[in-house]
Amino acid sequence: MIYTVTCNPSLDYRMELEQLRIGKTNRARRTGVLAGGKGLNVSAVLHELGQDNTALGFVAGFVGDEIRLCMERQGCRCAFVQLTEGCSRINVKLQGGETTTELNAPGPEITVDARQSLEQQLDALQDGDVLVLAGSVPDSMGQTVYSDWLAKMEKKKILSVVDAFGEQLIHTLAHHPFLIKPNHHELGALFGVSVTTREQAAVYGRKLLEQGAQNVLVSMSGKGAVLCAADGNVYYQAPAKGTVVHAVGAGDSMIAGFLTGWLETKTYQSALHLGAAAGAATAFSSSLGKGTEIRAIAKTLEFSEIIE
């Protein structure tokens, strides 16, 4: 079973504008409301690709109720911990022209009891399960929570995936996650550099391998993706051709596609190929990519290649 954890889920209110004009009245052409949060996005796309999974995390208040309903409408299985106080957050995504502006709210405080309830769910994971830890963590949980959870699972044969930022990510490397997925901006920020080419992505991705990650998947927007893999190779996937509608959730979709490709074939090239197709399907649509769209793009996409 695949489990995703989203500690700080949201409702994403998406507005498409002709052009975002700061300080002016803006009228949206289209709007939509979706359950948001990196882990929830991964769960939704995994479901589209036929991968059975369960979404874990915390929800609170009437927004939390709507998050649960949104996921269930998509056919996703949820086992959220219900907080007794506070309210889950609402984020606003403004698509103006070719750029997206995100207004992200803080989440509710996570109590000790709530955290323990989630940890009891994680304790029940079995050998062979997959665990995806994705997204931001409320300040009340600290910057080592992902690392703490992976440490408790080291004796189990769990395939772990971490999509986090800064110190939250770095702390997990000692526990050798199967996959981490920084984008090129996040990768550069970890080392205080600017990463703009696939060669640079390979150099700094390998540094994260040296620090403990098994595989490092670097998404590079319109420049494709680079995978520094556990087999010693560096793979490059050229980008799909299409018009970007919005990029929100594309990286999460890439994780879902990569995991699906890996579970189906156990080959890095196939995993990277399907991951890129899933990311593109989301980027080219107004919502998360559908399974049929992902498979169709995969058929047209150049197969990934070894570059080092």
Return the active site residues.
252
HEC letters along 153-187: CCCCCCEEEEECCHHHHHHHHHHCCCEECCEHHHH
Q: 59-65: long-range contacts (C-beta < 8 A, 24 or more apart)?
A: 59/9, 59/83, 59/88, 60/84, 60/85, 60/86, 60/87, 60/88, 60/108, 61/86, 61/87, 61/88, 61/108, 62/87, 63/10, 63/11, 63/87, 63/88, 63/89, 63/90, 64/9, 64/88
How far is residue 205 CA from its own chain's centroid? Answer: 18
- Residue 47, SS3 per DSSP: helix
Residue among 277, 288, 187 at smallest CA distance from 228: 187
